[in-house]
Chain A
């Protein structure tokens, strides 16, 4: 059985990389991918705890998260395409319509 600590560490490192990517990158596409990475890190934890406790609940929840991630990507990419058509950019700091 894979030790729990290794799973938790991997999951945390993936999540930290995702947070760092969302905070530092300017490209909206890469920000979306980093959000996906964070969801995957959470999924890894859910599956590890499901394995640990021997119940299928965590895995069912991970499957729901996966479906939600797919919905999020569809909407996010549609927004990116619409943004590119309107503003001709995908760099998030060029989009400052609401800036006071």
Chain B
């Protein structure tokens, strides 16, 4: 049973990984901005499913709520607000596109080299161990929300509070930036 579950998680991860890649590719290369947003939505939902297969249930649901529920709708609003039809005749890509593609291909080759070395090179001297005392008592895989909340509110309380201040500043900043007339 355990083995079947484990293997089906891998297959589901691969399936949703391919869907995410397809969504991302259609986002980058779509001519119409609305199609781009839909590709983005597909990619985000597929990444959320990948989180679920990695046993990060809370983050999977949070991803759906934040991205599919919030950010995609925000993007769609702005796409509707900004009249994009008049840019349609113009070219789609920047003039530096060949150089940019070459740069990305160099990065792909570099990653492929590292990957190749990891898979077929000599094994590491000792396996990677991360601070096990962070996980005492609670396993990430078993009680996901509890373990996550303890990590967030015990070990990362200060970053969490800083993030809340950043969100407040961003909220005020967005209102100020998008306001029409000066008071």
Give residues in A with beta carbon < 8 Å to B. 1-3, 5-10, 12-14, 16-21, 23-27, 29-30, 32-34, 36-37, 40, 43-44, 47-51, 53-57, 59-64, 66-75, 77-82, 84-85, 89-93
Contact = CB atoms under 8 A, between A and B. Distances in A.
A5 to B, nearest CB: 7
Interface string B85-99: 001001111111100
B156 A27 contact: no
B27 A80 contact: no
A65 to B, nearest CB: 9
Contact of A61 (B74, B140, B156): B156
Nearest to B5: A1
Contacts of B62: 63, 66
Given A23-B100, A54-B135, A55-B130, A90 B84 contact: yes
Contacts of B82: 29, 80-81, 84, 90
Closest 9 A/B residue pairs (Cβ):
A23-B100, A56-B151, A71-B170, A78-B177, A60-B151, A78-B174, A21-B28, A53-B130, A56-B147
Contacts of B71: 36, 69-70, 73
A28 B54 CA distance: 33
Contacts of A56: 134-135, 138, 140, 147-148, 150-152
Interface residues of B, number: 92
A92 B172 CA distance: 25
A13 B75 CA distance: 23
Contacts, number: 249
B180 A85 contact: yes
Contacts of A75: 170, 173-174, 177
Given A10-B20, A54-B140, A64-B163, A5 B115 contact: yes
Contact of A81 (B100, B129, B173, B178): B178
Contact of A57 (B9, B70, B144, B151): B151
Interface of B: 6, 9-10, 13-14, 17, 20-21, 24-25, 27-28, 33, 36-37, 40, 43-44, 47, 50-51, 53-56, 58-59, 62-63, 66-67, 70-71, 74-75, 78-79, 81-82, 84, 87, 90-97, 100-101, 103-104, 107-108, 111, 115, 118-119, 128-132, 134-135, 138-141, 144, 147-148, 150-152, 155-156, 159-160, 163, 166-167, 169-171, 173-175, 177-178, 180
B177 A14 contact: no
B103 A51 contact: no
A66 B56 CA distance: 14
